[in-house]
Structure 1
Amino acid sequence: AQHDLHQTPRGDAHLDIGVGTGFYPAAAAPELAKTKTLALLDLSPTTLAYAEARVRAAGYDGTIERVRQSVSDPPPARMRGRFDSVSLFYLLRCLPGSFPTEASHVLAPGGVVCGATILGRAAPHNWFGRTLVDV
């Protein structure tokens, strides 16, 4: 279900927040091919480089913009209103309450946000879900 959910990139620009290994944008490379710009946001420069290489290896040949910053910080002014779609996976439970408002600032009119999260410890999980909750 996660891969289907991520197949929402549209318009000229897509932003993946907390890109990690680049799994999701690489998996969505056929859909991302329709965009001109893919921005990858993460705090780690190593992660950004790895994710960019993975997305390139998956066939994306548009512009890739690396944005090195914490997801807890407000987006830079240059990012406001730029993105037709934004994705974030396994971050929602870690973000401050102001995040939805801040994330909406990067969206172009009519833009969409997609993502997934792991519910807290009180929810029933399989072994993998329990492992992710503890990360």
Structure 2
Amino acid sequence: MNKNVITGQAVYSKKVLSIYDIWVLGFSNNYLWKCPTNIIGKKFATLVSNNHLDVGVGTGYYLKKYLPSTVRRVALVDLNNNSLESTSKAIKHLNPEVYCRNILEPLALNCDKFDSVSINYLLHCLPGNLSEKSIAFSHLREVINEGGVLFGSTILGKNISRNTLAKKLMAFYNKKGIFNNINDDLVSLDIALKEHFSDVKIEIIGCVAIFSAIKT
């Protein structure tokens, strides 16, 4: 496995996950990336279906806060077992399907497909540029039903406005291999999504691209 993939996911220890919501979704989104978490959450609530797959689950924040109580089926995909364990426990009343997978490889879930798939704050952690990361979209397309929606968000590192602290922290994250987004920009994301999906929509808020696309 690519060592950068390992580095990107290994940072999410139980200790880091315990402060993730405060540091990333609270402080960083508001003051560094300039995209309040509730904006991503509202998009999640709008596009999530009753047959949903969440990829790169983190702490399960969006699932816990915005997933309808009437959801019929929910599944989790992540390479980090700490994230999978924490999130599956948080939504255990929904009996989530749990898959430990590398999104850069074929998922081989061997299950029914999904009507919606969310992928929040994962792309900027994957190694390579967006043309290389787009293999993830190919793999996700395979698990989405016709007419289903892929949606999510990612922090861009190129051709976006950043304050001084955001620049320094992003550089530090990239140096450590936590982020790999120096060359990630709007144009590259648009091309990558359109290669595999239609009706692509992308909104830039601060450093963050919020996107959605349909499988046809």
Q: For residues 64 and 129 of structure 1, what CA distance do their matches in structure 2 show?
A: 37
Deviation (angstroms), 1:42: 0.8
Unaligned runs of 5+ in 1: none
Q: For residues 130 and 117 of structure 1, what CA distance do their matches in structure 2 show?
A: 18
Q: Is the 8 A contact 2:53 2:117 kept in 1?
A: yes
Q: For residues 76 and 15 of structure 1, what CA distance do their matches in structure 2 show?
A: 14
Return the TM-score normalized by structure 2: 0.52
Q: For residues 129 and 62 of structure 1, what CA distance do their matches in structure 2 show?
A: 39
Unaligned runs of 5+ in 2: 1-38, 128-132, 179-216
2:169 corresponds to: 131
Q: For residues 96 and 91 of structure 2, what CA distance do their matches in structure 1 show?
A: 9
User: Which one scores higher on RCO, CA 8 angstroms, separation ≥ 6?
Assistant: 1
Change (3 A) 1:50 1:128: farther
Deviation (angstroms), 1:75: 1.4
Q: Is the 8 A contact 1:10 1:34 kept in 2?
A: no
Question: Which of 60, 65, 71 is the equivalent residue of 1:22?
Answer: 60
Identity across the alignment (%): 27
Indicate the structure (1 or 2) with the bigger Cα radius of gyration.
2
Deviation (angstroms), 1:62: 2.4
1:70 corresponds to: 102
CA RMSD of aligned residues (A): 2.3
Q: Which one is further off, 98-107 or 88-97? A: 88-97
Q: How many residues align?
A: 127
- Say yes or no: does 1:43 pair with 2:76: no
Return the TM-score normalized by structure 1: 0.80
Q: Is the 8 A contact 2:103 2:139 kept in 1?
A: no
